[in-house]
């Protein structure tokens, strides 16, 4: 009875206390006593909170029974301050070099870095601050261990090839899933978003203003990514945009400008050299005219960017509002990129228990394209291949028709090739605290993406002119509904999230084309005399999922976490539509144990392990059905037709990747050195394969689940604070990653002459059992025989030189996967100056330059590399690199062999930046808060491997970004840009 | 008031969670399942037209086959820029040649489409689809399968006459196994004779069920008819040196002069006239264009929308009487080649932009010349009927008629017929086989002449390396 009274009393007192309030005021400052703007103050156990103003001051009304305030600020250790009797509170924050108490974004939630036991990489605001902000994908190179980011091309707006922990699939796509504020992005899995030829896909992240990004999180192990189930085998990248903080309104203006040049260009023959060469090899008399095509298309690229953002709010409503404009022109004519962005992120607390949150991102991109790399209308490719005796203009200064290699100067001046992209990525959520610790949330989002591609070829290039107009829309909506439970029971804490989501994406394509125009000035297809194409297609996919992730912590040092997701996808046949993915991970924070807790040497020590499964569904929308297609490809003489397009495979199911991960995180010497290292292994089974068929079957391939593949590797990230004084700080980051990829089984696949089953990716690359997924399989080139002037290759046994390229002599000669890659970053701060430099390197990967099939073909009709001038003659026997003009091998010299295979290793100064920040306090004015002036350089220095000079351009190459079996191949891949930017950022 | 906001959560939550299996049951919108494609008369007929469409592609009748047959012989120069075509022209072809790969692939795509029609149309469960209509559809598909195999075997196998067809030809695939859910096929190469026998069988089986003619001009010339089947059989027998049969089949065509007759002038190209026995129909919206290329695309210079890749060779220019021969004066013009250099081009194809020229598979002139040739070969005499046939071609071209006195012996007459054939059918893809099957080298001058005799390695194309890599049972042509 007594007990019951006590309970009743406590309940009543507890209820009464909800209504009693007190107001705490104070200041949050760093060790130097300088006020910290925007530090967050939260009453522990409630949702009450605020942030500090410009001077670091705050005022927070809290329930009377509040005992602890939690104060956090990026870059500083989170503090819990016990409230005493006083309502005044000044807090000094301690710098946190390793971000132990940062909150990190994870799938469907956030987590304290301290309690994190899954393997993730985060790109934090500081890194974002110090990078040339061209596109979000740039932030992933070198900054995140285990993440291999390769720019596919120097063409503006092209995508990057991003591989997280190796290659988890053969045919089902290799790029990770991108999620922006909880909305998984459309990434072209239903269809291409542009017609542009070449391997260069459009960048799914191009629409995001990097300035709006608060953080990027890369989910690497199954423990982190299994919650995304069927789409997570390639890893997941979570992008979180900036949110407003309560306090005074802040305005930030940023402007930068810069210019660019290609890192490397090719050295082609000039007109005199060309005339001499074709006379020697083909006995042709080329015309006496000359024109320097590469010089005519190269220029200095320009870039300018303008950004303004405002943020602030009250303790109930916070906002972040931004707008930006980026204007970029490339180093070769005909390629510009203009991006307009707007964003509104808004949070509002309706009541103590009910909140809503909305993120709205709008963008428009105006991209002037001139054909991508693998297209003779691409300005630089065309300029290299156009014969130098071909003039661009007649004597009167009019453009000439230059035949098959079109006159790019005319195309650029008179033609149109534009891609307009409009995108809305938005979501709104409503959260309600049902009980203390139990929150329900419903989130509704869209990713509405539309591209409009307009091409208009002028009369001089195509008689009468031609045009097409393509409109594509990839519109997705989704809903995510979750219950979140978080509760502490003494030493035992539990966090759990469970929920469902449904996603539906509809892709549509509308295209018209026509030819025969009265004048070049008539831009649109409706002016064409002859309509040549009318198309309108749609395709859709849906994904219905349920998921749950419980986390248990005991004494804040033993943590176990599990996740489970069941996905149902429209992409698979009825019986195999559902897949279940799961993970279990555990962690032990040793530094919380008694024997280490007071160690001055070890500040943090954590061991983690995880195992789980994820899937991959990127195989198009209806791969399991046997189909007959319709439309222009099948009609005949005005009669509607149907034709076979795909054989059925009703048993098609998920490709599944099981991943194990063991990790250690520690920091020592007052956190001056912190290390995170993970060893991992991924085993992919039921590989989704475009199983190749002999063409006699009428189909080149059928999609099947067959085979296994394995990746294993190590990711290491080391952060050090080398020197730290009041005014001077020097920090270093080393990121190093290594992985080995091996195809372990391909049942039913064709076998090569050595008996190894394989799947051919391209004419030069294969996935071979026992070797990497993108193994180069080529005849070895030996060189020019000084005695005969013939080019020679090696027979299969490697001993006999032969003068033919016999496919039976092909051998395994390396792969596109590097032995290791990584980065070394140094940041030095002195008073207001910051100097930062990142070296990026990759070692041991092979690159196949398909351009050499053309530039080094002695008898082609194109211009040739100046290297060919060093051909064999009686007077030039020993040093010749090209067969003699009469050798029978001259016509096959440039055919595929290791002659075009180069060492793709390189090291480059990815970026270097110098900035100076002036704080208003230093000059005693109030009209602004801070001014930052900076200069940054990208790719200022690059060291290529031997053999590139005179043959290749930039070594960073990924011609077919998303394809795993076609990595490290180039076909006139536009080189990366060398860029210098200067900027100013003013905060008010 | 504001606490009611929380009730918004409930319907939102409910709406979000009621998604179920039907929401992820989706179907393609531009395609039918294979079953639906043969569910009724309309879709089955559409599937038949899909076979015609499959033969329109660049690699079959859209231009590539025709161009290769010219490039490998002596009628045209190669001035283009593409190494893959240049290799073939120079007899330096490698087995990974992408043009060869595409050509092989597309022929078997068309063959598979025909195989499906042949196997599935008889079972279409539609009462309104009569047996006669079904038989005709099967017959049309067999005709298309036959001409596709004929194209293919002549490119990949040595000429029948070299050794009676014992050389390796191409694999005969006559059933759509993969589409029926069966295991993939790894067939062996059949001999040239076996492939010829299958072509003959298909055409003979098709003949009774094919119509004599159709109502509209485009279908009369562009769909399978008895005349077209007889015409191809006539060519097949001539290639096999079965001259008696060739004459009989020529007559089966020429005996219908209201349908098939020599045109009075040379405006018949792309005109669907009685000159055409079978032509593949192309329009500005429905043509061979799968990328670059096409008949006009290859043959016309840049100023007329093409690539200017194959102008007249010096040898062909010399063969013409350039002042009198209407085939030269009416069908030739000067332009700038891809080199660039001044060159002479054919005017047989007009549209380099959209490649809307019909592809001339067989014309009455060929039937006439087939018969003339077969008459001389079967009689070994200075055959008067052959001279009459020859003169029909010559007179139309504005040239003087020949008499028996002009020829020393039957061989001289045969040479005259073959020369006339060259002038009449140049740029139509006949030259390579016309030389090889008669035992002549493809070229008589230049360094490559020595590589161009019948039986030489690179007068035929290599089996694509991909095919050999994937199916070890497929032997490569010797020497590749």
- Region B199-218: mean pLDDT is 97
pLDDT at A6: 41
* DSSP letter, residue A245: -
pLDDT at A556: 81
List, edge to edge, every strand of the sheet that includes B31-33. Answer: A642-646, A627-630, B31-33
3-state secondary structure A48-100: CEEECCCCCEEEEEEECCCCEEEEECCCECCEEEECCCCCEEEEECCECCCCC
pLDDT at B105: 96
In this predicted structure, the answer to whether residue A964 has a pLDDT above a threshold of 90 is no
In this predicted structure, the answer to whether residue A877 has a pLDDT above a threshold of 60 is yes
User: What confidence tens digit (pLDDT) does each residue in B121-156 have?
Assistant: 999 999 999 999 999 999 999 999 999 999 999 999
**Residue A779 exposure: Cα atoms within 13 Å on the Cβ side:** 26
Higher pLDDT, A37 or A764: A764
- Region A856-879: mean pLDDT is 92
Residue with tokens 């989002």: A445
Q: Label residue A385 by pLDDT band (50, 70, 90).
A: very high
Those residues whose C-beta lies under 8 Å from the C-beta of residue B296, and which sit 6 or more positions away, are B304, B305, B306, B349, B350, B351, B352, B353, B355, B356, B357
For helices B384-396 and B364-379, give the axis angle rounded to 10 degrees. 150
Higher pLDDT, A67 or A413: A413
Contact B46 A543 (CB under 8 A): no
User: What confidence tens digit (pLDDT) does each residue in B70-111 have?
Assistant: 999 999 988 776 778 888 998 989 898 999 999 999 999 999
pLDDT at A98: 52
In this predicted structure, the answer to whether residue A332 has a pLDDT above a threshold of 60 is yes
**CA separation for the pair A36, A91 (Å, rounded):** 10
Bridge partners (DSSP) listed for residue A293? none
- Region B359-388: mean pLDDT is 96
**CA separation for the pair A533, B354 (Å, rounded):** 11
Q: Is B473 on the interface with A (CB under 8 A)?
A: no
Q: Judged by CB atoms within 8 Å, which residues 295-324 of B form the interface with A?
A: 301-305, 307-309
pLDDT at A948: 93
Q: Are B83 and A856 in contact (CB under 8 A)?
A: no
Rounded CA Rg of chain A? 31
- For residues B454, B459, B464, B467, the Cα torsion angle rounded to the nearest 10 degrees is -10
Instruction: Find, among B66, B64, B44, the residue nearest to B141 by Cα.
Output: B44
Q: Are B357 and B282 in contact (CB under 8 A)?
A: yes
Contact B353 A894 (CB under 8 A): no
Q: Judged by CB atoms within 8 Å, which residues 285-314 of A form the interface with B?
A: 287
Minimum mean pLDDT range among A275-279, B25-29, B469-473: B469-473
**CA dihedral for A28, A34, A35, A37, sign (positive or negative):** negative
In this predicted structure, the answer to whether residue A10 has a pLDDT above a threshold of 50 is no
Q: Is B10 on the interface with A (CB under 8 A)?
A: no
Minimum mean pLDDT range among A561-575, B7-21, B433-447: B7-21
User: What confidence tens digit (pLDDT) does each residue in A35-46 have?
Assistant: 777 788 877 766
User: What confidence tens digit (pLDDT) does each residue in A416-463 have?
Assistant: 988 899 999 999 999 999 888 899 999 999 999 999 999 999 988 888
Give the gap in angstroms from C-alpha B264 to the nearest C-alpha of chain A: 26
pLDDT at B405: 95
**CA separation for the pair A766, A770 (Å, rounded):** 12
Contacts of A540 in chain B (CB under 8 A): 26
Residue of A631, A639, A642, A704 to mutate when probing chain B, most B C-beta within 10 A: A642
Closest residue on chain B to A509 (Cα) = B30
Higher pLDDT, B292 or A175: A175
In this predicted structure, the answer to whether residue B67 has a pLDDT above a threshold of 90 is yes
pLDDT at A297: 94
Q: Judged by CB atoms within 8 Å, which residues 145-174 of B form the interface with A?
A: 171, 173
Instruction: Please report which helix (H) or strand (E) contains residue B194, including its range.
Output: helix B192-206
In this predicted structure, the answer to whether residue A335 has a pLDDT above a threshold of 50 is yes
In this predicted structure, the answer to whether residue A17 has a pLDDT above a threshold of 60 is no
Instruction: Find, among B272, B245, B238, B275, the residue nearest to B260 by Cα.
Output: B275
- Region A692-719: mean pLDDT is 91
Residue A186: both structure tokens together: 């459309």
Those residues whose C-beta lies under 8 Å from the C-beta of residue B329, and which sit 6 or more positions away, are B322, B323, B398
**CA separation for the pair A297, A953 (Å, rounded):** 16
Mean pLDDT of chain A: 87
Of the candidates A632, A640, A892, the beta carbon closest to that of B46 is on: A640
Bridge partners (DSSP) listed for residue B208? none
Instruction: Provide the percentage of residues in chain A whose pLDDT is more than 90.
Output: 51
pLDDT at A92: 84
Contact A628 B83 (CB under 8 A): no
Minimum mean pLDDT range among A195-209, A890-904, B58-72: A195-209
ipTM reported for the complex, 2 dp: 0.92
In this predicted structure, the answer to whether residue A8 has a pLDDT above a threshold of 50 is no
Q: What do you get for the CA distance between the two ends of chain B, in Å?
A: 85
pTM: 0.85
Contact A634 B50 (CB under 8 A): yes
User: What confidence tens digit (pLDDT) does each residue in A585-644 have?
Assistant: 999 998 888 888 788 888 889 999 999 999 988 888 888 889 999 988 899 999 999 999
Contact A694 B184 (CB under 8 A): yes
Q: Label residue A127 by pLDDT band (50, 70, 90).
A: low
Instruction: Provide the percentage of residues in chain A whose pLDDT is more than 70.
Output: 94
**CA separation for the pair A161, A153 (Å, rounded):** 10
Write the CA distances from A909 to A130, A138, A821, A954, B308, integer angstroms. 14, 14, 14, 13, 47
**CA separation for the pair A419, A452 (Å, rounded):** 6
Higher pLDDT, A435 or A1: A435
User: What confidence tens digit (pLDDT) does each residue in A186-234 have?
Assistant: 877 777 777 654 445 667 788 888 888 888 899 998 888 999 988 888 8
Closest residue on chain A to B173 (Cα) = A696
**CA separation for the pair A478, A447 (Å, rounded):** 9
Q: Judged by CB atoms within 8 Å, which residues 76-115 of A form the interface with B?
A: none
Q: Indicate the length of chain B as a whole number.
A: 480
β-pairing verdict for A969-970 and A236-241: unpaired
Q: Label residue B68 by pLDDT band (50, 70, 90).
A: very high
User: What confidence tens digit (pLDDT) does each residue in B268-316 have?
Assistant: 999 999 999 999 999 888 888 755 578 998 899 888 888 888 899 999 9
pLDDT at A14: 39
């Amino acid at each position: 009875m007594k007990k019951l009274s006590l309970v009743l009393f406590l309940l009543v007192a507890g209820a009464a206390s909800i209504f009693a309030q007190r107001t705490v005021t104070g200041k949050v400052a760093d060790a130097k006593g300088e006020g910290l703007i925007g530090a967050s103050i939260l009453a522990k156990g409630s949702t009450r909170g605020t942030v500090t103003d410009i001077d670091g001051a705050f005022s927070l009304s809290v329930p009377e029974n509040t005992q602890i305030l939690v104060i956090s600020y990026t870059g500083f250790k989170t503090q819990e301050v016990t409230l005493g009797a006083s309502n005044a509170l000044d807090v000094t924050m301690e710098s946190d070099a390793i971000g132990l108490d940062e909150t990190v974004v994870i799938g469907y939630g956030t987590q304290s870095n301290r309690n994190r036991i899954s393997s993730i990489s985060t790109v934090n605001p500081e890194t974002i601050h110090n990078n040339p902000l061209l596109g979000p994908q740039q932030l992933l190179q070198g900054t995140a261990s285990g993440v291999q980011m390769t720019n596919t091309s120097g063409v503006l707006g092209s995508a990057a090839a991003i591989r997280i922990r190796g290659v988890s699939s053969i045919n089902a796509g290799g790029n990770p899933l991108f999620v922006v504020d909880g909305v998984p992005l459309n990434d072209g899995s239903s269809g291409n978003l542009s017609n542009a030829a070449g391997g260069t896909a459009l960048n799914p992240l191009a629409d995001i203003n990097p300035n709006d990004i608060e953080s990027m999180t890369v989910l690497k192990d199954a423990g982190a990514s299994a919650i995304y189930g069927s789409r997570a085998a390639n890893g997941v990248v979570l992008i979180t945009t900036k949110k407003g903080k309560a306090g005074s309104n802040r305005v930030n203006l940023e402007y930068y400008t810069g210019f660019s040049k290609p890192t490397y260009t090719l050295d082609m023959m000039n007109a005199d050299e060309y005339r001499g060469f074709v006379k020697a090899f083909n006995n042709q008399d080329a015309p006496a005219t000359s024109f320097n095509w590469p010089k005519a298309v190269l220029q200095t690229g320009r870039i300018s960017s303008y950004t303004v953002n405002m943020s602030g709010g009250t303790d109930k409503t916070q906002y972040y509002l931004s707008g930006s404009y980026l204007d970029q022109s490339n180093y070769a004519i005909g390629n510009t990129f203009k991006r307009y962005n707007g964003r509104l992120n808004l949070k509002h607390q309706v009541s103590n228990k009910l909140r809503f949150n909305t993120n709205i991102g709008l963008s428009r991109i105006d991209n002037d394209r001139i054909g991508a790399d693998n297209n003779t209308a691409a300005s630089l490719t065309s300029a290299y291949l156009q014969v130098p005796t071909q003039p661009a203009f007649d004597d009167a200064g009019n453009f000439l028709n230059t035949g098959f290699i079109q006159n790019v100067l005319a195309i650029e001046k008179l033609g149109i090739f534009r891609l307009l992209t409009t995108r809305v990525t938005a979501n709104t959520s409503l959260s309600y605290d049902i009980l203390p610790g139990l929150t329900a949330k419903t989130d509704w989002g869209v990713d509405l993406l539309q591209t409009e591609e307009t091409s208009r070829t002028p009369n001089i290039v195509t008689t009468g002119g031609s045009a097409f107009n393509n409109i594509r829309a990839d519109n997705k909506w989704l809903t995510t509904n979750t219950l979140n439970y978080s509760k502490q029971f003494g030493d035992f804490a539990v966090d759990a999230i469970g929920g469902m989501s449904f996603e539906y994406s509809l892709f549509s394509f509308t295209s018209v084309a026509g030819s025969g125009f009265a004048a070049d000035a008539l831009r649109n297809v409706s002016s064409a005399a002859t309509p040549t194409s009318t198309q309108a297609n749609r395709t859709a996919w849906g994904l219905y999922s349920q998921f749950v992730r419980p986390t248990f912590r005991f004494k804040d040092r033993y943590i176990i976490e599990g996740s489970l997701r069941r996905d149902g996808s429209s992409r698979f046949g009825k019986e195999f539509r559902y897949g279940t993915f799961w993970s279990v991970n555990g962690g032990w924070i040793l530094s919380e144990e008694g024997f280490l807790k007071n160690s001055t040497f070890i500040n943090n020590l954590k061991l983690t392990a995880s195992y789980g499964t994820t899937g991959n569904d990127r195989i198009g929308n209806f791969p399991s059905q046997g189909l007959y297609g319709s439309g222009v490809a099948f009609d005949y003489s005005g009669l509607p037709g149907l034709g076979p397009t795909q054989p059925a495979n009703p048993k098609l199911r998920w490709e599944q990747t099981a991943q194990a991960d063991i990790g250690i995180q520690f920091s020592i010497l007052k956190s001056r050195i912190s290390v995170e290292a993970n060893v991992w292994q991924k085993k992919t089974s039921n590989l989704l394969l475009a199983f190749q068929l002999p063409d006699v079957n009428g189909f080149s391939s059928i999609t099947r689940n067959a085979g296994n593949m394995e990746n294993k590797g190590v990711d290491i990230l080391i952060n050090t604070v080398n020197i730290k004084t009041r005014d001077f700080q020097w920090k270093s980051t080393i990121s190093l990653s290594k992985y080995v990829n091996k195809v372990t089984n391909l049942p039913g696949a064709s076998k090569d002459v050595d008996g190894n089953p394989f799947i051919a990716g391209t004419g030069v690359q294969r996935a071979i059992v026992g070797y990497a997924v993108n193994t180069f399989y080529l005849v070895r080139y030996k060189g020019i025989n000084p005695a005969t002037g013939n080019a020679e290759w090696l027979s299969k046994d490697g001993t006999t030189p032969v003068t033919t390229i016999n496919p039976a002599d092909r051998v395994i000669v390396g792969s596109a996967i590097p032995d290791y890659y990584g980065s070394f970053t140094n940041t030095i701060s002195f008073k207001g100056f910051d100097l930062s430099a990142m070296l990026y390197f990759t070692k041991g990967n092979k690159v196949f330059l398909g351009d050499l099939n053309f530039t080094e073909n002695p008898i082609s009709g194109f211009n040739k590399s100046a290297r060919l001038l060093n051909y064999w003659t009686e007077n030039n026997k020993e040093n010749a690199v090209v067969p003699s003009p009469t050798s029978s091998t001259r016509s096959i010299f440039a055919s595929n062999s290791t002659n075009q295979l180069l060492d793709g290793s390189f090291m480059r100064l990815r970026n270097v930046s110098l900035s100076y920040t002036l704080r208003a306090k230093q000059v005693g004015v109030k009209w602004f808060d801070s001014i930052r002036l900076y200069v940054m350089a990208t790719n200022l220095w690059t060291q290529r491997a031997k053999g590139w000079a005179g043959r290749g351009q930039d070594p960073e190459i990924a011609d077919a970004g998303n394809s795993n079996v076609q990595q490290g191949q180039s076909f006139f891949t536009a080189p990366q840009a060398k860029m210098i930017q200067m900027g100013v950022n003013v905060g008010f | 008031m504001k606490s009611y906001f929380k009730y918004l959560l409930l319907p939102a939550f409910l709406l979000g969670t009621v998604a179920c299996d039907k929401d992820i049951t989706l179907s393609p919108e531009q395609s039918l399942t294979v079953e639906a494609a043969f569910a009724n008369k309309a879709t089955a007929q559409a599937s038949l037209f899909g076979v015609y469409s499959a033969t329109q592609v660049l690699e079959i009748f859209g231009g590539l086959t025709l161009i290769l047959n010219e490039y490998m012989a002596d009628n045209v120069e190669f001035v283009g820029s593409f190494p893959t075509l240049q290799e073939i022209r120079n007899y330096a072809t490698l087995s990974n040649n992408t043009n060869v790969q595409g050509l092989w692939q597309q022929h078997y795509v068309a063959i598979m489409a025909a195989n499906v029609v042949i196997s599935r149309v008889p079972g279409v469960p539609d009462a309104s689809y009569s047996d006669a209509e079904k038989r005709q559809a099967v017959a049309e598909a067999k005709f298309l399968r036959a001409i596709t195999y004929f194209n293919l075997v002549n490119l990949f196998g040595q000429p029948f006459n070299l050794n009676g067809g014992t050389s390796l030809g191409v694999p005969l695939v006559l059933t759509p196994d993969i589409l029926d859910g069966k295991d993939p096929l790894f067939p062996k190469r059949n001999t040239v004779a076996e492939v010829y026998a299958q072509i003959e069988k298909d055409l003979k089986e098709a003949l009774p069920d094919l119509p004599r003619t159709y109502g509209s001009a485009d279908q009369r010339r562009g769909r399978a008819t008895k005349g077209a089947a007889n015409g191809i059989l006539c060519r097949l027998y001539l290639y096999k040196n079965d001259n008696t049969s060739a004459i009989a089949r020529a007559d089966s065509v020429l005996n219908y002069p209201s349908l098939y007759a020599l045109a009075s002038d040379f405006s018949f190209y792309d005109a669907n006239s009685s000159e055409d026995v079978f032509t593949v129909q192309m329009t500005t919206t429905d043509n061979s264009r799968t990328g670059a290329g096409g008949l006009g695309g290859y043959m016309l210079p840049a100023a007329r929308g093409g690539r200017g890749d194959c102008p007249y060779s010096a040898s062909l220019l010399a063969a013409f009487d350039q002042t009198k021969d209407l085939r030269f004066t009416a069908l030739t013009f000067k332009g700038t080649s891809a080199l660039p250099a001044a060159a002479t081009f054919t005017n047989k194809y007009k549209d380099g932009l959209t490649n809307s020229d019909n592809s001339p598979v067989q014309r009455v002139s060929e039937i006439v010349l087939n018969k003339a040739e077969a008459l001389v070969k079967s009689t070994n005499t200075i055959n008067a009927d052959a001279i009459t046939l020859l003169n029909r071609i010559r007179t139309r071209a504005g040239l003087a008629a020949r008499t028996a006195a002009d020829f020393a012996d039957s061989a001289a007459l045969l040479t005259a017929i073959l020369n006339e054939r060259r002038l009449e059918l140049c740029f139509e893809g006949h030259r390579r086989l016309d030389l090889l099957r008669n035992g002549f080298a493809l070229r008589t001058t230049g360094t490559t002449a020595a590589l161009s005799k019948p039986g030489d390695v690179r007068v035929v194309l290599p089996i694509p390396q991909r095919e050999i890599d994937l199916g070890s049972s497929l032997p490569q042509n010797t020497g590749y």
